[in-house]
């Protein structure tokens, strides 16, 4: 059991609440991770808050006008009724068309109609409900979103099998992933891939993507049944020409009869609608047809119905109207260029810095970059920045610090990294 859960249980032991707690209730805890550290930074990071996965401009959330401009135009039946459990049909159909447009490798391939879920976290959790359980191995990189262990390990008692995200040369560690798949054993495994990666901002190159798919195909041919979950929360934010520009779901969904691919995505980051909680689950596998997808959809609907009932009808209709808007594509491109400009600036700043204290980990996409500390601890550096500079960052583990350049204006980036390096020197000097 996680030490944080044990700490909470000790507080409750001997009370009626403690006596009534279920096994899951006793296992649950709130991580001292990204959300907790972001909450602390919200109070203290008065100068720069580079903690949360949010794109901001001048301290305010960025948005698409094609969404904001529709808020007061919704008809009553677009805002107030219950939504269908599976989501608004027109939105599901449009999102499926968008998937094929954004991922050309999906052309002529069979995959399910996307099902609407209240955010990507819900999508991940629902897949865990359907496919994870005690002892089922979950293979994922060592640098991953802190919610994955809570969803799979704490809630479903799956067994986490991690591998180093980076190979010795700095790219994606295909060999490590292959070894982890083999080590998981047991004839079934869940592989979770999150690109662009949170916390590192790394996505595979086109060559690495091909190697990842080949490794999964080889594991499937050996008889292992594999659920590949593609967490595409930051999909589309690829900044380098050699980066694979599609979701790996497009390659996995018809790869092998032993591979079931699941794509979890949504408007959250793609359309700058973080609070809308509008996500999608899409499934695909070689050999599956419409009856199979219908049965899986009914299973997913059962998971939604028995937990959150349905997703926000208002949010779904706003997304639907936005995607249909003639200005939608242009607005998204403008938002992308804003983030890419910040990325290019960060790359230039880091290239001019020494690497005796902080080693920037490879990044080429998304909202984030991360440092590996060569001296000192990440939590000490985080607290130093927060207390001395009023700057918020995230300590991922003992040696990795995450910086969200998505929430820092271009003109503030130089000052931000100046303070990060200066604070790292102070922490290192104290030993």
**Contacts within 8 Å (CB) and 24+ apart, 68-71:** 70/318, 70/321, 70/322, 70/325, 71/318
Q: Is the pLDDT of residue 186 over 80?
A: no
More confident residue, 383 or 72: 383
Pairing of strands 159-163, 137-141: parallel
The beta-carbon contacts of 293-302 under 8 Å, at least 24 apart in sequence, are 293/111, 293/112, 293/113, 296/112, 297/86, 297/112, 297/113, 297/115, 299/130, 300/86, 300/115, 300/126, 300/130, 301/85, 301/86, 301/115
pLDDT at 310 (0 to 100): 93
**Span 19-44, mean pLDDT?**
86
- The listed CATH number (3.30.1330.50, 3.40.50.150, 3.40.640.10, 3.40.190.10) that belongs to domain 71-324: 3.40.640.10
- At 72 the pLDDT is 86
CB of 311 closer than 8 Å to CB of 55: no
DSSP 87: -
Q: With DSSP H G I counted as helix, E B as strand and the rest as coil, what are the percentages for the chain, rounded to 5?
A: 45, 15, 35
Average pLDDT over residues 240-252: 98
The answer, as to whether pTM is greater than 0.75, is yes
Q: Confirm if 21 and 378 have CB atoms less than 8 A apart.
A: no
How high is the pLDDT of residue 31?
81
Q: Which CATH number fits domain 30-62+330-429: 3.30.1330.60, 3.90.1150.10, 3.30.390.10, 3.30.460.10?
A: 3.90.1150.10
For residue 379, give Cα distances in angstroms to 46, 81, 226, 395, 401. Answer: 19, 46, 36, 5, 8
Would you kindly state where each structural domain of the chain is located, as residue ranges? 30-62+330-429, 71-324
325: its two tokens = 């808007």
Q: What is the pLDDT of residue 98?
A: 96
Give the pair of three-digit tokens for residue 282. Answer: 């899409």
Lowest mean pLDDT across 37-46, 175-184, 292-301: 37-46
The pLDDT tens digits of the residues spanning 317-349 come to 999 999 999 999 999 999 999 999 999 999 999
Under the banding of pLDDT at 50, 70 and 90, the label for residue 30 is confident
| Contact partners, residue 160, CB within 8 Å, separation at least 6 | 137, 138, 140, 148, 149, 152, 153
The DSSP code sequence of 299-360 is HHHHHHHTTT-S--HHHHHHHHHHHHSTTHHHHHHHHHHHHHHHHHHHHHHHHTS--SSEEE
What digits encode the pLDDT tens for the residues 64-118? Answer: 998 888 888 888 889 889 999 999 999 999 999 999 999 999 999 999 999 999 9
Strand ranges of the sheet holding 358-360, from the earlier edge strand across to the other edge: 358-360, 368-373, 400-404, 394-395
Cα–Cα distance, 402 to 153 (Å, whole number): 23
**Length reported for the chain:** 431
- CB count within 10 Å of CB 391 equals 26
């Amino acid at each position: 059991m996680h030490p944080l859960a044990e700490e909470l249980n000790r507080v409750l032991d001997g009370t009626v609440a403690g006596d009534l707690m279920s096994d899951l209730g006793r296992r649950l805890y709130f991580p001292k991770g990204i959300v907790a550290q972001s909450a602390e930074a919200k109070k203290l990071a008065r100068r720069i808050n580079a903690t949360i996965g949010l794109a901001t401009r001048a301290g305010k959330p960025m948005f698409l006008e094609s969404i904001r401009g529709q808020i007061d135009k919704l008809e009553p039946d677009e805002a107030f009724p219950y939504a269908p459990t599976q989501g608004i049909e027109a939105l599901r159909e449009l999102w499926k068309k968008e998937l094929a447009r954004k991922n050309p490798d999906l052309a002529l391939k069979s995959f399910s109609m996307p099902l609407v879920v209240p955010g990507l976290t819900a999508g991940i959790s629902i897949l865990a409900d359907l496919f994870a359980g005690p002892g089922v191995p979950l293979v994922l990189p060592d640098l991953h979103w802190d919610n994955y262990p809570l969803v799979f390990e704490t809630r479903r008692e799956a067994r986490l099998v991690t591998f180093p995200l980076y190979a010795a040369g700095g790219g994606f560690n295909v060999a490590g992933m292959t070894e982890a798949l083999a080590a998981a054993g047991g004839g079934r495994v869940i592989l979770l891939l999150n690109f662009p990666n949170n916390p590192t901002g790394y996505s595979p190159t086109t060559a690495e993507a091909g190697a990842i798919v080949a490794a999964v195909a080889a594991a499937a041919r050996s008889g292992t049944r594999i659920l590949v979950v593609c967490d595409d929360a930051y999909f589309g934010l690829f900044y380098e020409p050699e980066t694979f520009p599609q979701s790996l779901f497009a390659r996995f969904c018809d790869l092998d009869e032993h591979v079931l691919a699941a794509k979890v995505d949504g408007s959250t980051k793609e359309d700058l609608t973080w609070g809308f909680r509008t996500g999608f689950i899409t499934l695909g596998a070689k050999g599956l047809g419409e009856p199979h997808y219908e049965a899986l959809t009914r299973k997913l609907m059962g998971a939604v119905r028995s937990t959150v009932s349905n997703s926000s009808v208002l949010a779904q209709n706003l997304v639907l109207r936005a995607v249909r808007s003639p200005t939608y594509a242009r607005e998204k491109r403008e938002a992308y260029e804003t983030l890419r400009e910040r990325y290019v600036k960060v790359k230039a700043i880091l290239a001019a810095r020494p690497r005796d204290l902080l080693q920037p980990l490879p990044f080429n996409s998304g909202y984030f970059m991360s440092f590996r500390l060569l001296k000192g601890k990440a939590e000490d550096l985080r607290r130093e920045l927060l207390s001395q500079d009023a700057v918020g960052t995230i300590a991922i583990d003992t040696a990795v610090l995450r910086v969200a350049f998505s929430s820092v204006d271009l003109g503030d980036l130089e000052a931000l990294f100046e303070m990060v390096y200066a604070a790292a020197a102070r922490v290192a000097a104290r030993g």
